[in-house]
Structure 1
Amino acid sequence: MQVSVVGALICTGILAVVVYMRWSMITALIASLAFGATSIGTITSLGGSSPLIFTVFDMLVILAALARRGIWRDIGAVFVRIGAAWIVCALMIYVCIGAVLFPRLFAGQTSAFVASRTGRGVYEAALAPVSANISQAGYFILGGLTFLAACLLLQRSGALADIRRGFFLWFSLHVLMGVLDLLGKVLGAGDILAPIRTANYAMLTQVTEAGFWRIAGAFSEASAFGAESLAGLAFSYVYWRKTGSKFALGLGAILFVLLLMSTSSTAYVGLAIVSVPVVFSIVKSLASGRLRSAEALLIALLPPLLLSAMAAGLFYPHFFDPVLQLFDTTVVNKLTSASGQERSYWNYKSLQSFFDTGGLGVGLGSSRASSWPIALLSQLGLFGTAMMAVLLAMLVRGLRGSRGRIDPEVDAIASSVRACALAALVAASLSSGSADPGIVFLIPLAVVLVSRRLPDDSAVGAPARTLQHSRDSREDVIQSQVGTVPGRV
Structure 2
Amino acid sequence: MTALGMIFAGAYAIALFGGRRWVLLVLASSISFNDSIVMALGTATITPFYLGLIVYLLSSFTVWRREPLQNGQLPGRLVLIIMFIYCSVITAISPVLFAGLGVISAADGIDQQVASLTPLGFTSSNLAQVAYLLLNVIFVLRSQRDGTFGSRHLTVGFAIGALVACSSFIGGAWPHAIFDNSPRGFYTIETGRLRGQFSEPSHLGAFAVAASIYFGARLARVRSLRTFVVYGVLVSMALTLLIASASGTAAVGLGAALLAMLAVSLRTSQFKKAVRIRVPVFLGGIAALVALIVLLPSLFDMINTIVQSKFGSVSLTDRTLVDQNSITVFLKTFLLGAGDGSNRGSSLLLMLLSQIGLVGTALFLRAVSISVFRGLSKHSEVPAALALIGFLSSAFVSLPDFASPILWALIAVTFSSQQSCIAGSGELSGFGSDPQMSARSALTIEVAIAAGRTMQ
> TM-score range, shorter-chain basis?
0.7 to 0.9
Aligned to 2:210: 231
The one-letter code matched in structure 1 to 2:160 is L
The one-letter code matched in structure 1 to 2:397 is L
> Is 1:363 aligned with 2:339?
yes
Q: Is the 8 A contact 1:150 1:443 kept in 2?
A: no
The one-letter code matched in structure 2 to 1:91 is M
> Is 1:451 aligned with 2:421?
no
Classify 1:171/1:115 alpha carbon distance in 2 versus 1 (closer, same or farther; 3 Å): same
Aligned to 1:181: 168
Aligned to 2:445: 488
Aligned to 1:193: 176
> Is 1:57 aligned with 2:13?
no
Aligned to 2:137: 144
TM-aligned CA deviation for residue 152 of structure 1: 2.7
The DSSP-based 3-state class of the residue aligned with 2:310 is coil
Aligned to 2:397: 430
Q: CA separation in 2, counterparts of 1:9 and 1:421?
A: 28
Q: In the TM superposition, what whole-angstrom CA distance separates every residue of 1:394-446 from its partner, at most 9, and x where no partner exists?
A: 12212566xxxx6xxxx22x212222222111111011224x26443344334
The one-letter code matched in structure 1 to 2:203 is A
TM-aligned CA deviation for residue 207 of structure 1: 0.8
Q: In the TM superposition, what whole-angstrom CA distance separates every residue of 1:39-87 from its partner, at most 9, and x where no partner exists?
A: 121132xxx132211111101221233232644864xx87x62232222
Aligned to 1:13: 11
Match of 2:25 among 24, 27, 31: 27
The one-letter code matched in structure 2 to 1:425 is L
Q: Is the 8 A contact 1:7 1:198 kept in 2?
A: no
Q: CA separation in 2, counterparts of 1:100 and 1:131?
A: 12
Q: CA separation in 1, counterparts of 2:179 and 2:275?
A: 48
Q: CA separation in 2, counterparts of 1:250 and 1:18?
A: 32
The DSSP-based 3-state class of the residue aligned with 1:242 is coil
Aligned to 2:449: none
Q: How does 1:6-155 map to 2 (within 5 A)?
A: 6-13=4-11, 16=14, 23-44=21-42, 48-68=43-63, 70-71=65-66, 74=69, 81-108=73-100, 110-117=101-108, 121-123=112-114, 124-154=117-147
> Is 1:341 aligned with 2:332?
no
TM-aligned CA deviation for residue 16 of structure 1: 4.0
**What's the C-alpha RMSD, in Å, of the aligned pairs?**
3.6
TM-score, with length taken from structure 2: 0.81
Q: CA separation in 2, counterparts of 1:206 and 1:465?
A: 48
Q: CA separation in 2, counterparts of 1:14 and 1:369?
A: 33
Q: CA separation in 1, counterparts of 2:209 and 2:376?
A: 24
Q: CA separation in 1, counterparts of 2:362 and 2:294?
A: 49
Classify 1:443/1:65 alpha carbon distance in 2 versus 1 (closer, same or farther; 3 Å): farther
Q: CA separation in 1, counterparts of 2:436 and 2:87?
A: 36
User: Which sections of structure 2, spanning at least 5 residues, go unmatched?
Assistant: 425-431, 447-456
Q: CA separation in 2, counterparts of 1:299 and 1:278?
A: 22
Q: CA separation in 2, counterparts of 1:195 and 1:449?
A: 33
Q: CA separation in 1, counterparts of 2:121 and 2:295?
A: 57
Classify 1:117/1:372 alpha carbon distance in 2 versus 1 (closer, same or farther; 3 Å): closer
The one-letter code matched in structure 2 to 1:6 is L
Classify 1:19/1:332 alpha carbon distance in 2 versus 1 (closer, same or farther; 3 Å): farther
Classify 1:19/1:131 alpha carbon distance in 2 versus 1 (closer, same or farther; 3 Å): same
Q: Which is worse superposed, 361-370 or 330-339? A: 330-339
Larger radius of gyration: 1
The DSSP-based 3-state class of the residue aligned with 2:46 is coil
The DSSP-based 3-state class of the residue aligned with 1:81 is coil
TM-aligned CA deviation for residue 197 of structure 1: 2.5
Q: In the TM superposition, what whole-angstrom CA distance separates every residue of 1:244-280 from its partner, at most 9, and x where no partner exists?
A: 4422232112111121111111112222223346789
Q: CA separation in 2, counterparts of 1:15 and 1:256?
A: 34
Match of 2:435 among 479, 483, 486: 479
Q: Is the 8 A contact 2:348 2:395 kept in 1?
A: yes
Aligned to 1:419: 386
Q: Is the 8 A contact 1:113 1:367 kept in 2?
A: yes
Equivalences, count: 427
Q: CA separation in 2, counterparts of 1:279 and 1:92?
A: 31
Q: CA separation in 2, counterparts of 1:168 and 1:304?
A: 25
Q: Is the 8 A contact 1:32 1:54 kept in 2?
A: yes
Q: CA separation in 2, counterparts of 1:105 and 1:252?
A: 49
Aligned to 2:428: none
The one-letter code matched in structure 1 to 2:52 is F
The one-letter code matched in structure 2 to 1:153 is D
> Is 1:241 aligned with 2:241?
no
Aligned to 1:214: 193
TM-aligned CA deviation for residue 296 of structure 1: 6.9
Q: In the TM superposition, what whole-angstrom CA distance separates every residue of 1:327-368 from its partner, at most 9, and x where no partner exists?
A: 455311314211111111111111111111111111011111
Aligned to 2:238: 255
The one-letter code matched in structure 2 to 1:365 is G
Q: Which has more helix, going by share of residues? A: 2
Classify 1:130/1:41 alpha carbon distance in 2 versus 1 (closer, same or farther; 3 Å): same
Q: How does 1:266-415 map to 2 (within 5 A)?
A: 266-276=249-259, 292-293=277-278, 294=281, 297-307=284-294, 324=301, 327=303, 330-399=306-375, 411-412=379-380, 414-415=381-382
TM-aligned CA deviation for residue 488 of structure 1: 2.9
Q: Is the 8 A contact 2:3 2:178 kept in 1?
A: no
Classify 1:478/1:241 alpha carbon distance in 2 versus 1 (closer, same or farther; 3 Å): farther
Classify 1:271/1:291 alpha carbon distance in 2 versus 1 (closer, same or farther; 3 Å): farther
Tell which has more relative contact order, 1 or 2 (C-alpha 8 A, sep 6+): 2
The one-letter code matched in structure 2 to 1:42 is A
User: Which sections of structure 1, spanning at least 5 residues, go unmatched?
Assistant: 311-319, 456-463, 467-475
Classify 1:349/1:295 alpha carbon distance in 2 versus 1 (closer, same or farther; 3 Å): farther
Q: CA separation in 2, counterparts of 1:136 and 1:341?
A: 27
